[in-house]
Structure 1
Amino acid sequence: MIREKRRRRRKRKRILRIILTILVIAALAALIVFKVFTVEKVEITGNELYTNQQIEDWVLNDEHSWNSLYVYFKYKLKETKELPFVDSMDISLKSPHTVKINVYEKGVLGYLYVPSLGKNAYFDKDGFVVELSSDIIEGTTKISGISVETAQLYKKLPLENESILKTLLNVSQLLKKYELEPEIIYVTPEDQVLLSYGNIQVNVGGNVNLNEKIVRLQKIMPEVAKMKGTLHLEDWSETNTDIYFEKNELTEIPKDVQQVPKSGSTEENSKKEENSNAEDSAQKDSGQKASDSKKDDQSSDKKDTAN
Structure 2
Amino acid sequence: MREKRQKEKKKGILSRLMKILIFCLFIVGSTFVLLFTSRLETVIVEGSNHYTSEELQEKVLTKKTDKNTILLYLRYKYGETSSIPFIERVDIEMMNLNTVTIQVYEKVVTGCIEYMGGYMYFDKDGIIVESSDEKLSQVPFITGLSFNKMVLYEKLDTQKDEIFNVILNLTQLIRKYELDIETIQFSPDMEVTLYCGKIQVLLGKRNTYDEQIAELKNLLPKAPNKKLTLDMRNYTEGQDRIIAKPRK
Short-chain TM bin: 0.7 to 0.9
Question: Shift in Å at residue 14 of structure 1?
Answer: 6.1
C-alpha deviation, 1:91, in angstroms: 1.5
For residue 242 of structure 2, what is the amino acid of its counterpart?
A: I
Matched, 1:229 2:228: yes
Tell me the secondary structure at the aligned position of residue 31 of structure 2: helix
Number of residue-to-residue matches in the alignment: 246
**Corresponding residue for 2:166?**
167
Normalized per residue, the structure richer in helix is 1
In structure 2, stretches of 5+ residues that fail to align are: none
Structure 1 CA distance, aligned partners of 2:184 and 2:58?
32
The TM-score with structure 1 as length reference comes to 0.69
The answer to whether residue 44 in structure 2 is matched with residue 66 in structure 1 is no
Contact 2:211 2:237 in 1 (8 A): no
Residue in structure 1 matched with residue 34 of structure 2 by the alignment: 32
Partners of 2:223 and 2:54 in 1: how far apart?
Answer: 34
Write the distance in 1 (CA, Å) between the matches of 2:80 and 2:63. Answer: 15
CA displacement 1:107-156 (0-9 Å, x = unmatched): 101111234xx653312223332224444334221112223131234443
2: CA distance, partners of 1:208 / 1:18: 74
Residue 125 of structure 1 aligns with an amino acid whose one-letter code is K
**CA contact under 8 A between 1:172 and 1:181: conserved in structure 2?**
no
Tell me how far 1:167 sits from its aligned partner: 3.0
Distance in 1 (CA, whole Å) between partners of 2:118 and 2:147 is: 12
* C-alpha distance in structure 1 between counterparts of 2:46 and 2:136, whole Å: 18
Asked if the contact 2:124–2:164 (Cα under 8 Å) also holds between the matched residues in 1, the reply is: no
Give distance in 2, aligned partners of 1:211 and 1:141.
17
Residues 18-44 of structure 1 show CA distances to partners (whole Å, capped at 9, x for unaligned) of 424532442232112121x12122122
TM-score by length of 2: 0.83
**Unmatched 5+ stretches in structure 1:** 251-307
Q: Distance in 1 between matches of 2:23 and 2:153?
A: 56
- Output one character per residue of 1:197-231: Cα deviation in whole Å (capped at 9) or x when no partner: 22233222222561000000111222223333233
Identity of aligned residues (%): 32
Do the aligned partners of 1:114 and 1:150 also contact (CA within 8 Å) in 2?
Answer: no
TM-aligned CA distance change 1:226 to 1:16, over 3 Å: same
CA distance in 1, matches of 2:6, 2:162: 95
- Does the 8 Å contact 1:167/1:206 carry over to 2? no
Q: Which amino acid aligns with 1:230?
A: T
RMSD: 2.8
1:46 Cα deviation from its structure 2 partner? 1.9
Shift of 1:173: 2.1
1:272-301 CA-to-partner distances (Å, cap 9, x unmatched) read: xxxxxxxxxxxxxxxxxxxxxxxxxxxxxx
Give the counterpart letter for 2:33 in structure 1: L
Displacement of 1:181 in angstroms is 4.3
Partner of 1:297: none
| Deviation, structure 1 residue 182 | 1.3
Distance 1:174 1:126, change over 3 A: farther
Question: In the TM superposition, what are the counterparts of 1:31-180 in structure 2 within 5 Å?
Answer: 31-35=33-37, 37-115=38-116, 119-162=118-161, 164-180=163-179
Amino acid at match of 1:100: T
Shift of 1:170: 2.1
Aligned to 2:216: 217
Query: Larger strand proportion, structure 1 or 2?
Result: 2
Structure 1 stretch displaced more, 133-142 or 65-74:
133-142
